[in-house]
Amino acid sequence: LELYTYHQESNANSLFRSLLKFRNLEYLAIYPGENARRQHFEKLLTHRRLKDVKFYFGNIDDMQLYYNDLQRRNRGCLHAEFSSGNFITLNSE
């Protein structure tokens, strides 16, 4: 199962908690929002089938530092990519 999502909630806890309910999820591409932190990435590490995660924009510096630390200690079983930048939305009227 692959999931591509844009999340606009102010509570990142509910988003990451709900992602764990997708039992067959193997690939995730996500804009995690500005409130996403290292603890949310740790929740994704507990998912049994998740192999690849792509984070787009948002506040991903904390998660990226944690991931790099895991890779340095050879404890990462999950592959993650981080794309920083600005997220632009267009309002059509």
Strand 27-31 and strand 79-83: the pairing is unpaired
Per-residue confidence band for 10, with pLDDT thresholds at 50, 70 and 90: low
Q: Phi and psi of 81, rounded to 5°?
A: -125, 145
b/e per residue, 17-56, with b = 16+ CB within 10 A?
Answer: eebeeeeebeebbbbbbeebbeebbeebbebeebeebebb
Q: What is the per-residue pLDDT across 21-73, written as a single tens digit (0 to 9) for each?
A: 989 989 988 887 777 888 888 888 888 899 999 888 767 788 888 888 988 88
Domain range annotation of the chain = 2-83
The first and second tokens of residue 4, run together, are 């591509």
